Chains A and B, each alone.
Chain A
Amino acid sequence: MGMNAPDLSVDLAGLRLASPVLSASGCFGSGQEMSRFVDLTALGAVVCKTVTLKARRGIAPPRGAETPAGMLNAIGLQNPGVDAFIAKDLAWLDKRNVPAVASIGGQSVGEYVACAERLRDAPALSAMELNLSCPNLEDRGFMFALSAERTASVVEAVKRVVMVPVFAKLTPDVTDLVAIADAAVKAGADGLSLINTTLGMAIDTRTFRPKLSTGTGGLSGPAIRPIAVRCIWQVHQAMPHVPIIGMGGVGTGDDAIELFLAGATAVAVGTANFYDPRATEHVRDGVAAFMTARGITSLDQIRGRVKVEG
C-alpha cells in the first residue's frame, strides 16, 4: 500500500476499464492526432467523434468562439461516414490495442440502426454511444434527446442490433432529465453519458452577427461543469445502479473526483484536450494522487458519496 499506484480500474456496464478516464466524443478525433501527445493505451477508452451512415460535409465556418470559461461550437457533424470510420479509424485503434467507443448519430431512427448494424462486427469496439443531440428530421428537427419517447425509440432500435454495451448521451437542455434518462434505461440503455453541450449563442457587437455561422452552438468547457455535476447527481439519485460516464468541463483530477462524488462511474475529458493536449493524463494522474492521499483503494468507495444534508 502507500507507495503503490492505486487501482484505477472500473467496471463500466460490464466493461473492465484500466482507467476511469476516457476521451469525450468530438474532442479527440479517433486518437491519431492525439497519439502525438499522450499514450492512448493509458486511457480507459477512446470515445470517437460521432459518425453517421453517410459522410457529412459539416457547416460553414466560423464554427467556434471562445466564451468566459468555455467555448461554443457548431460543426454540423462533419465526418467521413461509418464505413470509412471502420476501415481507417477503428482499424487504426485496433492495431494499437486501444479500446474504442463509437459514437453514432442520425436524423431518423432508421439511420441510427443502419449505422449501428455496420459497426456490429467492427474490430476494437468496446461500446457504442448514441449521440442523441442530433436534429430529428422525422420530428420537426427537434433533437432526439429532448423527448423521452424519441430517446427510447432510438435506444430500443439500436439495442436490437448490437451486442456491445450502449450508452445514451443526453442533453442537459430539458425540463426533466431524470424522465428522459429513465426512458433510455427502460428502453435498454446499458448506461448514460452525461452531459452533451448546452445550447448557447454569442454575438459580435461590432458586426451585429452571431459568432457562429449557425447562430447557436454547443457550450462546453469549465463553464458547464456545475451543470454536469447537477445532472449526474440528479440521475444517480434516481437510478443509483445505472452506470454513468460523466463529462462537462473536466480538466483536472479534482474535476473528475467531483463527478465521481456526484455519481459518475467514469469521466470523459473534452474541451480540456484543446488547451492541454495532455489533459487526459493530467486528469488520470490527479485522480490517482487523490486516491493515494485519501487512502482510497477503489473508486467504488467514493461514487455518489456527496453528502447532501436535508
Chain B
Amino acid sequence: MSATLADAVETTGRVVGVERIGEYQILTLRAPDVARRTIPGQFAMIEAGCLLRRPFSIFRATADQVSVAFDVIGDGTRWLSERALGDDLALAGPLGTGFALESNGPTVAVGGGYGAAPLFMLAERLRPTGHAVHAVLGAARAARVFGHDEASRVFDSVAITTEDGSLGTKGLVTDVLADVVARTGARRVAACGPMPMLEAVSNRCRELKLACEVAVEEFMACGLGICWTCVVPVAGNGEARYLRSCTEGPVFDGGAVAWG
C-alpha cells in the first residue's frame, strides 16, 4: 500500500491538437481535471483502440490541456496517431510519482528519444523558481532527437548526442554528461528514456556522486496500482523489492534501482 497515491481522476478528454515533432506524434487532450493536477514525470493511461489502455508520460500541462508524445510502435500508438480533432478519448491521470520539484541548484535533464518529453515540463516548472535546467538529449539519429528546435527555448542549455553523429556529439548521453555537469555545476540529474540508457545514466551519476532520478518505462496493464505487472526491482534494506512503476514510480532514485 502506497502512502501517497497520485490524486488521479477518470475522465474523457477531447482531442484538441494533433501535431508532429520530428518523427514523433503529439496528442493534446482537453482534460482540465487531469491537467491542473499534473506534476512533471507523471503519466496518464489513455484508451488506444485495444483492450488495454496505454501509459504516456505527460509532455505539457496547461490549465485545461495535457499533451503526450509518442512514437508509432504498435497497434495502440498507430490507432492514437489516427485520432482527429474533436474525438473523445477515455483517460485516467495524473498517475504515479513525479520528479522532485524542490531543487537546491541546477539540474541536468537527460532524455533519450521521446523519453525527453516530461523533461520539458520539468524545466518549465523549475526554471521560474530560480533553478537552471540544462538538457542532454540523445537519440540514434537526428530525426529521433525529441524537440531539439524547442529545447533551446525551454532549457538553459542543450547538449545533443546521436549515435550516428548526424546531430550534436557522436555517441551516447553518458559520453557528455560529466562535461555538462562540470560546466553547469549541477547537483542532480533527472532522466527519462529507454531502460539501458537509464541504467547507464544511473551508473555515471554514482561515479560523479550526483543525485539521480529516473522515470522508468515498463509494460503496464492498468497503470492504476492493481495489476502488479509493471514492477521494477528497487533496493531498500537488504534484498531488492519489486515496486510498481505506476504507483511507487515511475520516478525512482536511479541509485536504488537494481538494474539488469
Contact = CB atoms under 8 A, between A and B. Distances in A.
A25 B156 CA distance: 49
A193 to B, nearest CB: 18
A32 interface: yes
A281 B53 CA distance: 18
Contact of B226 (A29, A62, A88, A92): A29
A78 B52 contact: no
Interface in A261-297: 271, 273-278
B247 interface: yes
Contact of A221 (B51, B53, B92, B229): B51
B52 A274 contact: yes
Contacts of A221: 51
Given A33-B226, A57-B241, A58-B231, A278 B10 contact: yes
A32 B244 CA distance: 15
Contacts of A37: 8-10, 92, 224
Contacts of B229: 61-64, 73, 75
Which of A66, A71, A274 counts the most B-chain CB atoms under 10 A from its CB?
A: A274
A275 B228 contact: no
A80 B7 CA distance: 24
Interface in B36-73: 47, 50-53
Contacts of A277: 10, 92, 224
B78 to A, nearest CB: 14
Which of A33, A69, A88 counts the most B-chain CB atoms under 10 A from its CB?
A: A33
Contacts of A66: 50-52, 221
Given A32-B1, A36-B7, A61 B218 contact: yes
A65 B10 CA distance: 23
Contacts of B53: 274-275
B219 interface: yes
Contacts of A32: 1-2, 5
Interface in A18-39: 26-30, 32-34, 36-37
B178 to A, nearest CB: 31
A222 interface: yes
Interface residues of B, number: 33
Contacts of B224: 33-34, 37, 273-274, 277
Nearest to A251: B51
Contact of A273 (B50, B226, B231, B232): B226
Contacts of A6: none
Given A58-B242, A61-B229, A64-B221, A30 B51 contact: no
Nearest to A88: B1
Contacts, number: 103
A70 interface: yes
Nearest to A77: B228
B226 A275 contact: no
Contacts of A273: 222, 224, 226
A300 interface: no
Contacts of A64: 219-221, 227, 229-230
Interface in B87-130: 90, 92
B138 interface: no
Which of B51, B92, B220, B247 counts the most A-chain CB atoms under 10 A from its CB?
A: B51
A274 B85 CA distance: 26
A277 B53 CA distance: 11
A274 B239 contact: no
A89 interface: yes
Contacts of B147: none
Contact of A58 (B7, B219, B228): B228
B225 interface: yes
Contacts of A27: 226-227
B94 to A, nearest CB: 11
Contact of B231 (A28, A69, A78, A274): A78
Contact of A63 (B52, B228, B247): B228
Contacts of B241: 57
Contact of B225 (A33, A61, A63, A276): A33
Interface in A67-115: 69-71, 73, 75, 78, 88-89, 92
Nearest to B50: A66
A306 B188 CA distance: 64
A30 B52 contact: no
A73 B228 CA distance: 9
Given A57-B239, A273-B226, 20 more contacts: A26-B227, A27-B226, A29-B226, A33-B2, A33-B225, A36-B8, A36-B9, A37-B8, A37-B92, A37-B224, A49-B228, A60-B233, A62-B218, A62-B219, A63-B231, A73-B229, A78-B231, A88-B1, A271-B221, A275-B52
5 nearest CB pairs, A to B: A64-B229, A33-B225, A274-B222, A63-B229, A29-B226
